[in-house]
Amino acid sequence: MLKNILQKITGGDKTYSYEEAKTALKKQNRRDKTILASHAETKPEILYYLATDESPEVRREIAINQNTPHQANDLLVKDEDTEVRQELARKIARMLPDLTDDEVSKVRESALEILETLANDQLPQVRKIVSEELKTFDCVPKQIIRKLADDDHLEVCAPVLEYSPLLSTEDLKEIIAATTVSGAIKAIAQRDQVNEEVSEAVTASLDIPAVAALLANKNAQIRESTLDKIISQANEMEELHRPLAERPNLSLRAIKRIAGFVASSLVNRMISAHDLDESIATELLKQVRERIQETTGDEDDAESLASQAAQFHAKGLLDDAFIENTIKNRQRELLFHCLAQLAEMPLTSIRKILTSKKARRVVALAWRAELNMRTAIKLQLEIACIPSSQVINAKEGVQYPLSRAEMEYDLALYDGGT
């Protein structure tokens, strides 16, 4: 029976009317209708009819079918089934590069409107498909790409931020300045070509993972003045040490500055990579040895501070007043050790959080240490040096404004000291 229907509905019997086809289809089971929906020669009017079928499996096949008429696609763009919309997004996006200019003109009002609707879909899974499919295209309206680039889900914005040729330098700078999506600036830093202006904007963002990605990007153009800013920030930010040391074409001045704080193995790597003169290499290695000797003495001090902090904690002295006093007296190292005790976190994690320039992380640390929001604000302003415009203030004067889940999420990466 299905074989006969297929022959008639797909064009084998020109006298088989649309209404007759609908009547025949109503008698078929889901499996048969799914086969019809996927068939390359099924008549357009039948595909349109199947686009309203109660079975999502049938509608998915209609969404996939390259011969589905645009009127049917218009129905599917707001289908209640997520997978239907995802398949439609893939199909429409993949059609565009193969269309001739004449065809593009004919389908612009339908295909591109469908894509724009899907780029605004309520579910990020659907928007993600659109972003991944369009990320390298230059044949789509820029407003669709910009909409995806401004999305508040990383899985949606990252593909176009990293790959889209339609995003200009000004677009990228605006996004860097405005985005609150963790990982978005890193995606921009990983673009195949990053010019000096964008590199400057990435550096100014103080997003450490993004700056590390920028340094690791061999095609990123970085001005000497921008590199100087990064080096000035990198002393206490270990994530930047390796990408800085491995950055190609470093000036001798930059190499000497970097050698002042990175591990000796990285200094040796810079010496080898840049084929430095023997006298300069000897000078750098001497500088490293002297620094190691100084650090050994600092480690003794660190052990003493750690012991003091542990004793203060055991005696119940580490409260808001104590922490505020260390802030007031600029006792940074003692403060770090005390916070490590209170928050039960590694000292390295405390340092990273307080040098991250991320207000949320500092607030989450204060919460973990069971300090009040007044102390959290002082930590943001006076220790983490967060600009006042970016400081997270208390809710209703005294309460933490972030949820427990949000703060636990911000601290999750630091609990192991990584």
Phi, psi of 395 (to 5 degrees): -90, 130
> Measured between alpha carbons, how far is residue 392 from residues 11, 35, 227, 358, 367 in Å?
66, 57, 30, 10, 13
**What does pTM read for this prediction?**
0.59
Q: Contact 110/73 with Cβ under 8 angstroms?
A: yes
CA distance 36 to 4: 12
> Measured between alpha carbons, how far is residue 213 from residues 197, 223, 241, 244 in Å?
16, 16, 12, 10
DSSP conformational letter for 399: B
What's the one-letter identity of residue 231?
I
| Structural domain spans, the chain | 223-313, 318-412
Task: Please return the burial class of 138, using the count of CB atoms within 10 Å of its CB with bins 0-12, 13-18 and 19+.
Answer: exposed
Collapsing DSSP to helix, strand or coil, 194 comes out as strand
Average pLDDT (7-13) is 53
Confidence (pLDDT) at 100 = 58
- pLDDT, one tens digit per residue, over 70-92 is 777 777 788 888 888 888 888 87
Ranges 25-39, 170-184, 230-244, 361-375: which has the least confidence:
25-39
CA distance 144 to 160: 10
- pLDDT, one tens digit per residue, over 185-196 is 999 999 999 999
Which of 55-59, 283-287, 366-370 is predicted most confidently?
366-370
Q: Contact 347/324 with Cβ under 8 angstroms?
A: no
Confidence (pLDDT) at 418 = 44
CA distance 388 to 36: 63
Q: Which pair of structure tokens corresponds to residue 111? A: 């295909």
What's the one-letter identity of residue 269?
R
Q: Answer yes or no: is pLDDT of 382 > 70.
A: yes
How many angstroms from the chain centroid is the CA of residue 141?
Answer: 23
Ranges 40-54, 100-114, 348-362, 403-417: which has the least confidence:
100-114
- pLDDT, one tens digit per residue, over 157-170 is 999 999 999 999 99
Confidence (pLDDT) at 74 = 78
Q: Which pair of structure tokens corresponds to residue 294? A: 């100084």
The model's confidence at residue 304, banded by pLDDT at 50, 70 and 90, is confident
Average pLDDT (229-245) is 88
Confidence (pLDDT) at 296 = 44
